[in-house]
């Protein structure tokens, strides 16, 4: 495991020499220490990225050449899935099969953006038809410049890939600031990039806290673009800081996503996707369907099956066989979620869970927790909890379900289940959310756009939209100089 930051193609100590503890949430013990990067480290990293962008080969290479480097990065990540997944289990707490899935996806993201970089050579220029004779015009896509990427802790390396891979594919250079809670896997990317042939300065990685490293990166005048994933309050702060220099910005923020279940949904399917929608990754998922709306006449039978299955979920260390729910990411997050549960007990009816599982008091574990009869104004219904806690409510009509689903300041994701696909599609169109699932909840694909409406964010990641995040569009218009313009100089 790396214990240095990565600047200008080299692993180095931080300017202050200070380090901070990285905690294993399964036992609350320190398992590693990494540098506490500060404004001086960020400045060195941004200047290296600036030099690499302004004078280095990377933005000037063809897409095919950039693709070769990205593909090799994906190849090395794919070859090290088991090793890196184990780092994620120790750092984040998630069960190993989920961590393996993350790292497979991470490799896939690099491979996908390698393909897009290759296509970019043909697609970077687009002819624009003008309504005036004598002119020809084209729109040319170019890299936006130095990108600052600030990421959360729930999918540590995957969240890094969602930003680093498209930024590099576009020809940008990057300074990455991983979450202070899960900084370990991201540090591996430096060596991976170097061995793949990425020129020095194109990727820089600074570990550290939000206020000490994230804020200076956000405010640095030599950064052109900021890509942030995290909470709404931090996103709002970053937006305000970015406004000073009018930096280009993309924000992927929180959610309180609804899952609407009509009574014609087979009960087993409903149970499966409710559980997956909130307990996968300990519910520490921005798009988790944490508000479940069930058609009233299906409620009793569905709840009975749901509670029975939730109680069977095996909780434990992420490396243990058969575990489906690991510890939450940190003691602070553990405390926060337990506090939410206490609030929930006053606001609604606790159906199952609600505590620390017996025998697992040493780690940051929380039982799968279900609340029912949750009033619309309850804070557990309106606020993001970011843990294995789901709120259930009933509805009578399609209109009521849509109104309840959309009555939130968030708009990241929404899901609907029904045997009637016309109805499901109608509800899907009525949702005010950027990601909508029909008859499932959560599956995420590198090819499809990802991002939120309302306070859940700005812009889209993944797919071709993810690449466009890191591109400027330049208009190049040519006048046929053999014609006279004849405005001032009359013939
Ligand atoms: P957070 O906002 O606390 O931190 C995110 C990152 O921002 C961290 O790297 C942190 O160090 C940094 N940061 C904190 N203060 C900063 C500041 N003042 N200036 C610059 N950077 C600063 O979020 P978190 O707790 O790490 O992640 C959980 C949140 O992320 C949840 O709200 C979740 O919904 C959201 N999330 C969204 C998506 C999405 O795609 N929309 C994906 C994952 C997580």
Helices (H), 408-491: 421-430, 463-468
**146-150 and 125-128 as β-strands: parallel, antiparallel, unpaired?**
unpaired
* HEC profile of 225-260: EEEEECCHHHHHHHHHHHHCCCCEEEEECCCCCEEE
Other residues' Cβ atoms within 10 Å of the Cβ of residue 19: 16
Taking the CA of residue 152 as reference, the ligand 1 atom at the shortest distance is: 26
In this model, does residue 491 exceed pLDDT 80?
A: no
pLDDT in the model for residue 180: 98
Rounded Cα distance between 210 and 167, Å, is 21
**248-252 and 457-458 as β-strands: parallel, antiparallel, unpaired?**
antiparallel
Rounded Cα distance between 76 and 64, Å, is 19
Find, among 219, 201, 220, 225, the residue nearest to 142 by Cα. 225
ipTM: 0.96
> Which 3 state secondary structure label does DSSP give 371?
strand
Q: Is 421 exposed, middle or buried (0-12, 13-18, 19+ CB in 10 A)?
A: exposed
* Protein residue with its CA nearest to atom 35 in ligand 1: 230
**Mean per-residue pLDDT, 11-28:** 98
Find, among 244, 306, 298, 239, the residue nearest to 275 by Cα. 306
Per-residue pLDDT tens over the stretch 295-325: 999 999 999 999 999 999 999 999 999 999 9
Phi, psi of 366 (to 5 degrees): -135, 135
CA of 302 to the centre of ligand 1 (A): 34
On whether the CB atoms of residues 317 and 92 are closer than 8 A, the answer is no
Ligand 1 surroundings by CB, under 6 angstroms: 150-154, 177, 179-180, 209-211, 214-215, 218, 229-231, 234, 237-238, 252-255, 286, 384, 386, 412, 452, 457
Is CATH 3.40.309.10 the classification given to domain 258-438?
yes
Find, among 466, 458, 400, the residue nearest to 434 by Cα. 458
pLDDT in the model for residue 42: 98
> Rounded to the nearest 10 degrees, what angle do helices 96-123 and 156-170 cross at?
10
Q: Which two tokens stand for residue 137?
A: 């015009």
Catalytic residue among 88, 118, 252, 347: 252
Please give the share of the chain, as a percent, with pLDDT higher than 70: 100
**453-454 and 457-458 as β-strands: parallel, antiparallel, unpaired?**
unpaired
Phi, psi of 29 (to 5 degrees): -100, 155
* Protein residue with its CA nearest to atom 22 in ligand 1: 210
CA of 229 to the centre of ligand 1 (A): 5
Rounded Cα distance between 292 and 118, Å, is 42
**Mean per-residue pLDDT, 157-178:** 98
Other residues' Cβ atoms within 10 Å of the Cβ of residue 227: 27
**DSSP code of residue 131:** S
CA of 131 to the centre of ligand 1 (A): 46
Rounded Cα distance between 158 and 104, Å, is 9
Other residues' Cβ atoms within 10 Å of the Cβ of residue 308: 11
Indicate the average pLDDT of the chain.
98
**410-411 and 453-454 as β-strands: parallel, antiparallel, unpaired?**
antiparallel
Alpha carbon of 389 to those of 2, 213, 384: distances in Å? 34, 32, 10
**Mean per-residue pLDDT, 50-54:** 98
On whether the CB atoms of residues 46 and 15 are closer than 8 A, the answer is no
**349-352 and 369-372 as β-strands: parallel, antiparallel, unpaired?**
antiparallel
**Mean per-residue pLDDT, 199-220:** 98
Alpha carbon of 179 to those of 185, 298, 459: distances in Å? 11, 41, 21
pLDDT band with cut points at 50, 70 and 90 for residue 490: confident
Find, among 164, 209, 179, 170, the residue nearest to 91 by Cα. 179
**DSSP code of residue 450:** B
Per-residue pLDDT tens over the stretch 234-243: 999 999 999 9
* Protein residue with its CA nearest to atom 32 in ligand 1: 231
Active-site residue flag, 252: yes
* Protein residue with its CA nearest to atom 23 in ligand 1: 230
CA of 254 to the centre of ligand 1 (A): 9
In this model, does residue 477 exceed pLDDT 80?
A: yes
Per-residue pLDDT tens over the stretch 380-429: 999 999 999 999 999 999 999 999 999 999 999 999 999 999 999 999 99
- DSSP H or E stretch at residue 65: helix 63-79
CA 419, chain centre distance (Å)? 31
pLDDT in the model for residue 459: 97
**Mean per-residue pLDDT, 24-52:** 98
Rounded Cα distance between 376 and 352, Å, is 20
**DSSP code of residue 461:** B
Other residues' Cβ atoms within 10 Å of the Cβ of residue 264: 13
On whether the CB atoms of residues 447 and 462 are closer than 8 A, the answer is yes
pLDDT band with cut points at 50, 70 and 90 for residue 68: very high
pLDDT in the model for residue 127: 97
* Protein residue with its CA nearest to atom 8 in ligand 1: 179
pLDDT in the model for residue 440: 98
In this model, does residue 266 exceed pLDDT 80?
A: yes
**Mean per-residue pLDDT, 162-175:** 98
* Protein residue with its CA nearest to atom 14 in ligand 1: 210
Q: Which two tokens stand for residue 208?
A: 């550290």
Taking the CA of residue 155 as reference, the ligand 1 atom at the shortest distance is: 43
CA of 211 to the centre of ligand 1 (A): 12
Give me the architecture of the 5-253+456-476 domain, per CATH: 3-Layer(aba) Sandwich (3.40)
Ligand 1 pocket test target in 231, 411, 453 with most atoms within 8 Å of CB: 231
**Mean per-residue pLDDT, 474-490:** 94
Taking the CA of residue 237 as reference, the ligand 1 atom at the shortest distance is: 18
Rounded Cα distance between 100 and 94, Å, is 10
Q: Is 278 exposed, middle or buried (0-12, 13-18, 19+ CB in 10 A)?
A: buried
Rounded Cα distance between 29 and 31, Å, is 6
Query: What are the boundaries of each domain within the chain?
Result: 5-253+456-476, 258-438
In angstroms, what is the C-alpha Rg of the chain?
A: 24
Rounded Cα distance between 81 and 103, Å, is 6
pLDDT in the model for residue 75: 98
């Amino acid at each position: 495991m790396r214990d240095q930051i990565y600047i200008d193609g080299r692993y180095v100590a931080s300017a202050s020499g200070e380090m901070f503890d990285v905690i294993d949430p399964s036992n609350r013990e320190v398992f590693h220490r990494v540098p506490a990067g500060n404004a001086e480290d960020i400045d060195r990293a941004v200047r290296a990225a600036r030099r690499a962008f302004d004078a280095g080969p990377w933005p000037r290479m063809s897409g095919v050449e950039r693709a070769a480097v990205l593909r090799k990065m994906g190849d090395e990540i794919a070859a090290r899935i088991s090793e890196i997944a184990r780092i994620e289990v120790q750092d984040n707490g998630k069960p190993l099969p989920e961590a393996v899935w993350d790292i497979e996806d991470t490799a896939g993201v690099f491979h996908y953006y390698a393909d897009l970089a290759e296509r970019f050579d043909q697609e970077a220029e687009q002819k624009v038809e003008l309504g005036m004779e004598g002119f020809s015009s084209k729109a040319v896509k170019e890299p936006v410049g130095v990108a600052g990427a600030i990421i959360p802790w729930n999918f540590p390396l995957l969240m890094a890939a969602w930003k680093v891979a498209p930024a590099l594919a576009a020809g940008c250079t990057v300074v990455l600031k991983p979450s202070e809670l899960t900084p370990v896997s991201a540090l591996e990317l430096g060596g991976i990039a170097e061995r793949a042939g990425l020129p020095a300065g194109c990727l820089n990685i600074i570990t550290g806290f939000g206020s000490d490293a994230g804020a200076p990166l956000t405010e640095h005048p030599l950064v052109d673009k900021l890509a942030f994933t995290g909470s709404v309050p931090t996103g709002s702060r970053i937006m305000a800081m970015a406004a000073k220099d009018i930096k280009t910005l993309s924000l992927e923020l929180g959610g309180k996503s609804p899952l609407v279940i009509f009574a014609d949904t087979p009960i087993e399917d409903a149970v499966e996707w409710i559980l997956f929608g909130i307990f996968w990754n300990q519910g520490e998922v921005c798009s988790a369907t944490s508000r479940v709306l069930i058609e009233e006449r299906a409620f009793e039978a569905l709840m009975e099956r749901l509670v029975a299955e939730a109680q069977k979920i095996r909780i434990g260390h992420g490396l243990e066989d058969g575990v489906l729910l690991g510890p939450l990411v940190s003691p602070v997050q553990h405390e926060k979620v337990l506090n939410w549960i206490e609030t929930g007990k006053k606001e609604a009816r606790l159906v199952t869970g609600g505590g620390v599982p017996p025998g697992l008091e040493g780690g940051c574990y929380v039982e799968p927790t279900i609340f029912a009869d949750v009033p619309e104004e309850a804070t557990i219904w309106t606020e993001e909890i970011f843990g294995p806690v789901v709120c259930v409510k009933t509805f009578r009509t399609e209109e009521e379900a849509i109104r309840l689903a959309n009555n939130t300041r968030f708009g990241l994701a929404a899901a609907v289940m029904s045997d009637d696909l016309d109805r499901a599609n109608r509800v899907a169109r009525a949702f005010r959310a950027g990601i909508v699932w029909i008859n499932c909840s959560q599956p995420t694909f590198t090819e499809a756009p990802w991002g939120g409406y309302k306070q859940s964010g700005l812009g889209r990641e993944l797919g071709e939209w993810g690449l466009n995040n890191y591109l400027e569009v330049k208009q190049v218009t040519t006048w046929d100089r053999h014609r006279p313009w004849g405005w001032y100089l009359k013939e």
